[in-house]
Structure 1
Amino acid sequence: MLSPSFGLALLLTTLVALGPLSTDLYLPALPGLTQTFATDVAQVQLTLSIFLVGFAVAQPFYGPLSDRYGRRPLMLFGMGLYLISSLACMLAQSIETLIVARFFQALGACAGPVLGRAIVRDVYGPLQAARVLAYISGAMAIAPMIGPFFGGWLTVWFGWRANFAALALFSIVQLVVVFAMLGESNAHRDPAATQPRRILGNFRALLSARGYLGYLLCASFTYASLFSFISGSSFVLIQIYGLSLQWFGASFGLVVTGYICGTLITARFTLRLGPARMVMMGAILGALAGTLLAALALLEVRSVWAILLPMTAVLVAAGLIMPNAFGGALAPYPKMAGAASSLMGFVQMTLAAAVGIVVGHAFNGTAIPMTGAIALCGWAVLASYFLLVRRSGSEPSPRPPSPGRG
């Protein structure tokens, strides 16, 4: 069985980072793809949103399957699928082919964060999980910070296909390391975990707990606000504000430093203040910063800093919310860690994909659709906290339903 170590934390960080890296590395290439494939902004943004759809579709399967068969075999399968799909993206000759390949790439990439979070819960237990997830999230933020920067240069030097070639090489290294070093962490395998009745029963039990539902919505609306920026930022900053591909990457990296700051604050204070209080502070900050961001866009303040500075504060809030929401949600469920993680991921990715599609279709040559979505999501996080998390109190954890026939 696995035991806590720096090497394990480092490996889990790279696995959890696979999703953000898969979306952020090729962001600078998005505006150019409209000319490459002779298509519109909405179709190009669909390559991002379909990735989240694939993530969402895979979540309910990885969790229960890993609860029954273990984390390791599912992680190996996911990494192999990711490698094949990355090569298909690299070789795509039409926007339709790229969209389909991105869907399957997401099915493989999904194994990293879903199983990675479950492994953290397996190895570190309920008290340390939020803190370890915060450290992993802070280190993981390096991926979206440097991803657009290197993606911009790769696109300038070698074209957009080089981004997917880099992802394929990265996945080869991960696959080898997982095969050689990642042992099994699931000490509570549940033979009935994949029975449809058990899966639905577990999900029903989780959603009936006000605390879990509140944390789920806080994490989901937070990620939806981040994805609004991810899907819209390249068009806003490059097409509207005229940033070069290289400067876009640097600007994106500046914003992501906010997330790193938030996760470092989380790692320092979560054990003292508790996940719920940390989520509350992040929710208040996110709602205020998102409102300022949208207000500056409505007032037509044509400065890059009117986007970057409030968005950095939104990312600080996300660093406070995300690790604590996941840690607080998963802590009571050692025997359902995979199911609890996968359900959170499913809702998170589905909501973010829907918001991303809306932002793409609403793009009107201004920053208003993107910033408006970020502000609305921020207030939704705040409402979820006060209406659900805060009112959950010492609500007892739901017990898994007894095994039944599928």
Structure 2
Amino acid sequence: MQSSPPTTDLAAARPTLSRARFTATQAAITLALCLGLQPATTDLYLPALPLLTRELGTSVATAQLTMSTLILAFGLAQLIWGPVADRVGRRPVLLTGIVLYTLAVLAGMLAPNIGLLIAARGAQGAALAALVVVARAMVRDLYAPAEGTRVMSWAMSGLGLIAIASPLLGGWVTSAWGWRAPFAVVALLALTLAAWVWARVPETVPQANPDALRPGPLLASWRRILGNRNFQAWAALTSGTYAGLFLFLAGSPFVYINVLGLSPAQYGVALCSSSVAYLAGTFMCRRWLLAHGAAGAVQRAAWWTLAGGLSLAALAWAGVQTVWAVLLPQLAYAFAHGTHQSCGQAGAVSHFPREAGGASALAGFLLALVAFGVGNLLGLTLDQSTRPLAYGIALAAVLTTAVAWTLVRRHGHAPG
């Protein structure tokens, strides 16, 4: 029987970019830029969504496919990129993903009809998956679980800054130059990331996993990861909290602009405030981590999640259709999301130092699958009220809180 090829020392193979010189600050910047492309991909685009719906002569449900297709492709592609990153290393996957992402963005900007735009957004999501899955896996490559959660929290603060700027910039360029302009801005951000990765980011995998792409070992690895209680707890948490966020991202342009009468620029300001709350949540996360650990932090954040979701639903049920009735509850939800995602993304890979790419991919796939489902459902139920959006976010809040107070509390602890 032929033996497996020896593992490859990838860090030693690239001496010009030293892993030892890659500081925690540089790691946080890299993570923030990679993960920050995700809100840039959505938040910059959102103010343009009602406008492109009118200009391309399509329905709201069809326009929603530009969001749900992106998130589905994003989830499915992670199942490929994760094992590839474990086999060939993080750096090649990062650079390949950035090139493909930029090409997909340009295709979306030039799309003449809604069908081609949906296809381009799907390609964009598939390429984006490479960046996000590698970013999460790099945390486990470089740091023990507790330190990795802190670095991830700093990265999430950087992501928060990008998320703050994205809707403001998206609203402004959409008002000035139309719905295609946000794509040009995202392309420039991708090129900035490419320059940073090429110049600064080393290979972080000490040794390649030669079995990462073999079907038998790959399926065995996935079964092992999916059967781990720690992974189940953190993946359920990130899926639940992101479901509520994705509902807001997919539905809020139509609610704020079509129902509540805001302009694209005003909507950008409203979305920006949610990003500010998210950023504040990442700072509070670090305080809670020091005092209570990751599991304790998300249990405390869950109170904010529940308060935001239930108050949003209660106001909608009472017929209060104002900007503040949507905005204030969403600020509470976004504040808690800053803790849930920081802890959840680090926690999902914490037990798998040799399979961090696979664990990251599976967590991302489950998250995207849930978001795709709720996004399509929202597209079919949106009307001239805030109720479909509010009730969906409230349900996500209840489920996220339940996971934080049960599964994470029991199983969401770092390996000894």
Same fold (TM over 0.5): yes
Choose which of 19, 32, 37 in structure 2 pairs with 1:13. Answer: 32
Paired residues of 2:136 and 2:346 also in contact (CA < 8 A)? no
Partner of 2:276: 257
Q: What is the aligned-residue RMSD (CA, Å)?
A: 1.6
| Partner AA of 2:384 in structure 1 | G
Deviation at 1:140, TM superposition (A): 0.3
SS in 2 for 1:364: coil
Partner of 1:140: 159
Partner of 2:245: 226
Partner of 2:23: 4
> What TM-score results when the alignment is normalised by the length of structure 2?
0.92
Kindly tell me: are residues 166 and 116 of structure 1, through their superposed partners in 2, closer, same or farther at Cα, counting changes over 3 Å? same
Paired residues of 1:52 and 1:106 also in contact (CA < 8 A)? yes
Structure 1 residue 325 corresponds to structure 2 residue 344: yes
Choose which of 131, 144, 147 in structure 2 pairs with 1:125. Answer: 144
Partner of 1:295: 314
Partner of 1:210: 229
| Partner AA of 1:151 in structure 2 | G
Partner of 1:65: 84
Partner of 2:180: 161
Deviation at 1:176, TM superposition (A): 2.6
Deviation at 1:382, TM superposition (A): 2.0
Aligned-pair identity in percent equals: 37
Paired residues of 1:146 and 1:249 also in contact (CA < 8 A)? no
Unaligned runs of 5+ in 2: 1-10, 12-18
Paired residues of 1:275 and 1:327 also in contact (CA < 8 A)? no
Paired residues of 2:234 and 2:412 also in contact (CA < 8 A)? no
Q: What is the CA deviation profile of residues 12-62 of structure 1, one whole-angstrom value per residue up to 9, with x for unaligned ones?
A: 211111111001101111111121111111111110111101101111111
> What TM-score results when the alignment is normalised by the length of structure 1?
0.94
Paired residues of 1:21 and 1:147 also in contact (CA < 8 A)? yes
Deviation at 1:206, TM superposition (A): 1.6
Deviation at 1:320, TM superposition (A): 1.6
Distance 1:251 1:393 in 2: 34
Partner of 1:403: none
Paired residues of 2:109 and 2:184 also in contact (CA < 8 A)? yes
Distance 1:237 1:245 in 2: 9
Deviation at 1:396, TM superposition (A): 7.3
Higher mean displacement: 202-211 or 350-359 = 202-211
Distance 2:396 2:77 in 1: 24
Distance 1:388 1:178 in 2: 37
Deviation at 1:394, TM superposition (A): 6.9
Unaligned runs of 5+ in 1: 398-406
Partner of 2:327: 308
Deviation at 1:201, TM superposition (A): 1.4
Partner of 1:176: 195
Deviation at 1:393, TM superposition (A): 7.3
Structure 1 residue 278 corresponds to structure 2 residue 297: yes
Paired residues of 2:234 and 2:344 also in contact (CA < 8 A)? yes
Partner of 1:32: 51
SS in 2 for 1:350: helix
Distance 1:395 1:9 in 2: 21
Distance 2:300 2:218 in 1: 34
Choose which of 22, 26, 33 in structure 1 pairs with 2:41. Answer: 22
SS in 1 for 2:209: coil
- Give the number of equivalent residue pairs: 397
Q: What is the CA deviation profile of residues 374-398 of structure 1, one whole-angstrom value per residue up to 9, with x for unaligned ones?
A: 110111112223442223377979x
SS in 1 for 2:409: helix
Kindly tell me: are residues 344 and 394 of structure 1, through their superposed partners in 2, closer, same or farther at Cα, counting changes over 3 Å? closer
